[in-house]
Amino acid sequence: MTYQTLDTLRFDNRFILDLPADPETENYCRQVRRACYSHVKPTKVSQPQLIAYTREVADILNLTSEECELPDFVQVFSGNRLLEGMTPYATCYGGHQFGHWAGQLGDGRAINLGEVINQQGKRWALQLKGAGQTPYSRRADGLAVLRSSVREFLCSEAMYHLGIPTTRALSLILTGEKVVRDMFYDGNPKLELGAIVCRVAPSFTRFGSFQIFTARGETDVLQQLMDYTIRTDFSHLGEPSPEVYLAWFQEVCQRTAELIVHWTRVGFVHGVMNTDNMSILGLTIDYGPYGWLDDYAPNWTPNTTDAEGRRYCFDKQSHIAHWNLVQLAQTVYPLIKQTEPLQSILDSYAKEFECGWRKMMVQKLGLNTFKPATDEALVTELLAILQLVETDMTIFYRRLALIDAEVGSFSDMNEATFMEPIMDAYYQPEQLTSNDVMRIENWICSYIERVRQDGISNETRRMRMNSVNPNYVLRNYMAQLAIDKAEQGDNSMINELLELLRYPYDEQLEKREYAVKRPEWARHRAGCSMLSCSS
């Protein structure tokens, strides 16, 4: 592979070449009609400072680590300098927020620098989040603060290494500016450190990118965007036509189902599954108040705004994804004008998710295949016992792999033998009643019998389970500790977590302090449990 310098990056920028632009070039907040984007330049910052970069993302852009550590890298990815070929813009889109149509939304604090074609011929869009006001900023300033930027930077890469489709993060840069934010929406704003993340993805197009044009009756623009999307991101489907539009919708549904299965596998909760936060490529996009289940509580949401309705809680994510796909189907209907095939595809989403979910649960348990006759009851009871007392989901599945399924007679085993491997998963084990213990032991017996039916050795089962059940996830308290240090000028923990999360399925014995339950002090602390959308 031939490495590039910043000045030799090859920009293609097909998005702005093929799609209609906002004719107004002044940067002020407004309704933008009959356009997919507006030209806008990043706001220059006073003292940009590199906090961290990811070598894997630099590599897909064919940039060396040495290139990323040059002063010019900071100038470019803080928005202070535009490279030749960069034509920055912000995109127009709408969306349903918490189930209600919100009208025009758009890139309110994200500015696209352009699309790079790397040495392998792949397209990568570069986007600065927090780089200043755009026509879509509404009443906001278009900036981002350090705490939210650290969370997005780390989580983008954590998800990638977990094997979950996601946008990526190239760099995290401190701007040298102060930004006013009301973190708790309680009327007490304060100055915070400003920061910018460079996000990288094949495309940042969302469900809402199409919705805005259907809502406004701009069907010709809708078709332009659809045809561009198919030719650029779904070229394997063929030239655009009503039949290809249906094939495209089918693939979007399939990718979305696969994404939610992945989230479920690791206990991830997005927190803001609005249609403007749903990628047509099936990527995890827009990391706001996300979180991992510390204890297995299916109705948990990390979003304080969602605390009452829990629309976006862990257990509802598949349902909400389907609801969002229904909105997308209604959006593309004017191009297809056939209700039945769209409905048939929507119906297939539930089957796709269920099939993927069953396969995923089999993998988490280290089995060969899902056998409905036994496994429906086995999994249903498992999810029930996880809720008997506060149980750490991540630790439970890792410790479950340690259960000895090659044990002789069950009558030879005492309570300690049954329970000992999984005891670390309970936050307050003293709350386990004798009935709870009996129920868990009975489930473990059923599980061991099921493993034996498949004829799987302990070694094979543990290898399987540990390849899909992570040992390390980005728990909110971990991210908050890194933020606390960074706000004091110490960026070491950001890079430490970045390295840790590169190998989430490995034991990493020297990092065992991160493979434990959430500490009690973090139970209700701001940033460690639920979060607001404030950024």
Nearest residue to 425 (alpha-carbon basis) of 515, 522, 511, 361: 515
Specify whether 191 is located in the same domain as 216: no
pLDDT of residue 94: 98
Instruction: Please report where in the chains the tokens 């993302």 appear, as a residue.
Output: 57
pLDDT of residue 526: 85
In the residue annotation, 276 being an active-site residue is answered as yes
Instruction: Mark which of 364, 379, 404 sits at the end of a domain.
Output: 364
Specify whether 152 is located in the same domain as 64: yes
User: Could you tell me the two tokens for 338?
Assistant: 């056939």
Specify whether 116 is located in the same domain as 218: no
pLDDT digit string (tens) for the chain, length 535 residues: 788 899 999 999 999 999 999 999 999 999 999 999 999 999 999 999 999 999 999 999 999 999 999 999 999 999 999 999 999 999 999 999 999 999 999 999 999 999 999 999 999 999 999 999 999 999 899 999 999 999 999 999 999 999 999 999 999 999 999 999 887 667 778 999 999 999 999 999 999 999 999 999 999 999 999 999 999 999 999 999 999 999 999 999 999 999 999 999 999 999 999 999 999 999 999 999 999 999 999 999 999 999 999 999 999 999 999 999 999 999 999 999 999 999 999 999 999 999 999 999 999 999 999 999 999 999 999 999 999 999 999 999 999 999 999 876 666 566 567 789 999 999 999 999 999 999 999 999 999 999 999 999 999 999 999 999 999 999 999 999 999 999 999 999 999 999 999 999 999 999 999 999 999 999 988 888 778 776 5
Which amino acid is present at 321?
Answer: A
Instruction: Please report where in the chains the tokens 């460079």 appear, as a residue.
Output: 198
Specify whether 428 is located in the same domain as 340: no
Structural domain contains residue 482: yes
How does strand 123-129 pair with strand 190-201? antiparallel
Of the residues 22, 276, 294, 392, which is catalytic?
276
What is the distance between the alpha carbons of residues 332 and 181, in angstroms, rounded to a whole number?
A: 38
Structural domain contains residue 318: yes
Structural domain contains residue 534: no
Specify whether 46 is located in the same domain as 122: yes
Specify whether 423 is located in the same domain as 481: no
Q: How many residues does the chain have?
A: 535
Instruction: Mark which of 204, 226, 257 sits at the end of a domain.
Output: 204
pLDDT of residue 531: 81
Domain range for 423 is: 367-455
Specify whether 93 is located in the same domain as 185: yes
Instruction: Mark which of 179, 204, 229 sits at the end of a domain.
Output: 204
The domain tally of the chain equals 4
Distances in whole angstroms, Cα of residue 505 to Cα of each of 158, 228, 462, 478, 533: 11, 38, 12, 17, 30
Sheet of 110-117: strand order equals: 37-39, 89-91, 110-117, 123-129, 190-201, 168-181, 49-53
Specify whether 359 is located in the same domain as 238: yes
pLDDT of residue 468: 98
What is the distance between the alpha carbons of residues 183 and 137, in angstroms, rounded to a whole number?
A: 18
pLDDT of residue 512: 96
Specify whether 188 is located in the same domain as 222: no
What is the distance between the alpha carbons of residues 284 and 520, in angstroms, rounded to a whole number?
A: 29
Structural domain contains residue 466: no
Q: To which H or E segment does residue 447 belong?
A: helix 434-454
Nearest residue to 479 (alpha-carbon basis) of 444, 512, 442, 526: 526
β-sheet bridge partners, residue 324: none
Q: E-strand spans in 283-361?
A: 291-292
Specify whether 185 is located in the same domain as 221: no
Instruction: Please report where in the chains the tokens 């197009």 appear, as a residue.
Output: 205
What is the distance between the alpha carbons of residues 274 and 99, in angstroms, rounded to a whole number?
A: 8
**Reduced DSSP (H G I as helix, E B as strand, rest coil) percent helix, strand, coil of the chain, to 5:** 45, 15, 40
pLDDT of residue 485: 98
pLDDT of residue 488: 96
Structural domain contains residue 242: yes
pLDDT of residue 416: 60
Specify whether 296 is located in the same domain as 265: yes
Specify whether 483 is located in the same domain as 450: no
pLDDT of residue 412: 59
Structural domain contains residue 184: yes
For 434, counting Cβ atoms within 10 Å of its Cβ (0-12 exposed, 13-18 middle, 19+ buried), the class is: exposed
Structural domain contains residue 471: no
User: Could you tell me the two tokens for 415?
Assistant: 């309570």
Structural domain contains residue 462: no
